[in-house]
Amino acid sequence: MLSERIKQLRTDRNITQVELAKNLSVSKQAVSNWENDNIQPSIDMLVKISEYFSVSTDYLLGLDNKKYLEISGLSDLKIAHIQQIINDMRQ
């Protein structure tokens, strides 16, 4: 599940393994190994991956299917607008 989640998050954002590796300060081979389920990222790296993609570690591990948006620093009005857009898209 972890390997699939990492790959899906990466491809959904249209970034390469090389780009993800650079952003996480690891080798492209490390990302490839995670996505092919050859090795697991360390706990510290799991946290970095979750922060990079703005998801919980539980989501990465398949324990939670909720997705979150990082809205820190936005005004209440902007947050309300984003919530309205989400509500409209669900209809």
Task: Determine contact, residues 45/26, Cβ cutoff 8 Å.
Answer: yes
Buried b / exposed e across 53-66, counting CB within 10 Å, b at 16+? bebeeebbeeeeee
pTM: 0.79
Q: Which residues touch 28 (CB under 8 Å, ≥6 apart)?
A: 17, 18, 21
Answer for the pair 32, 19: CB distance below 8 angstroms, yes or no: no
Query: Tell me, what DSSP letter sits at residue 32?
Result: H
Q: Please name each of the domains of the chain with its CATH number.
A: 1-91 (1.10.260.40)
Tens digits of pLDDT across the chain (91 residues): 999 999 999 999 999 999 999 999 999 999 999 999 999 999 999 999 999 998 999 999 999 888 777 888 999 999 999 999 999 999 9
Mark out the alpha helices in 40-75 (DSSP H runs): 43-53, 57-60
